[in-house]
Amino acid sequence: MDHSGHQEHGMGNAHPGAHGGHNHGAMIADFRRRFWVSLALTIPILLLSPLIQRLLGLEAALAFTGSSYVLFALSSGVYFYGGWPFLKGLFAELETRKPAMMTLIALAISVAYFYSSAVVFGVQGEVFFWELATLIDVMLLGHWIEMKSVLGLLAHWKNWCK
């Protein structure tokens, strides 16, 4: 099974499982933890996002002075904590000169984060913090499920081959 695209989150080209100083169970737990923390932060991000407020007709009920700074702070948490595996993967892919999925995800979340941050601090435009947060949530969930599935499948194959 080819795992060449998994260097960024420690899966490498080899099989998953505890080997070579890597604890893949801990990596799965890390993705799970990052997903749940990011998801918890995403709920208020959605509620504070101007577009979502407009769509739900809740601008008067949820908007308050300084809400854009709260939105920025919550989104910063999601970007730096939830997005870290993708940012780390970006550096790994660039180091090997093989940009792949982590580069694409890191580029998307970074553009959304830095553009939206500039809007909060004075640049004209609309923020994309809710898009940033939901993209990170979906990617974390996908990687968590993928890693758990691959680890389980290979453990099953290992037992079957005995």
Residue ranges per structural domain of the chain: 16-160
30: its two tokens = 């890390």
Annotate 61-83 with three-state secondary structure.
Answer: HHCCCCHHHHHHHHHHHHHHHHC
pLDDT for residue 155 = 67
Global pTM reads 0.81
Pair of tokens at residue 160: 């079957």
* pLDDT value at residue 26: 86
Work out the angle at residue 137's Cα, subtended by the Cα atoms of residues 24 and 116, and round it to the nearest 5 degrees: 130
- What does the pLDDT profile of the chain (162 residues) look like in tens digits? 344 455 555 444 444 444 445 677 888 999 999 999 999 999 999 999 999 999 999 998 998 999 999 999 999 999 999 999 999 999 999 999 999 999 999 999 999 999 999 999 999 999 999 999 999 999 999 999 998 888 777 666 777 777
d(CA 62, CA 161) in angstroms, rounded, equals: 58
Nearest to 47 by CA among 78, 74, 65: 74
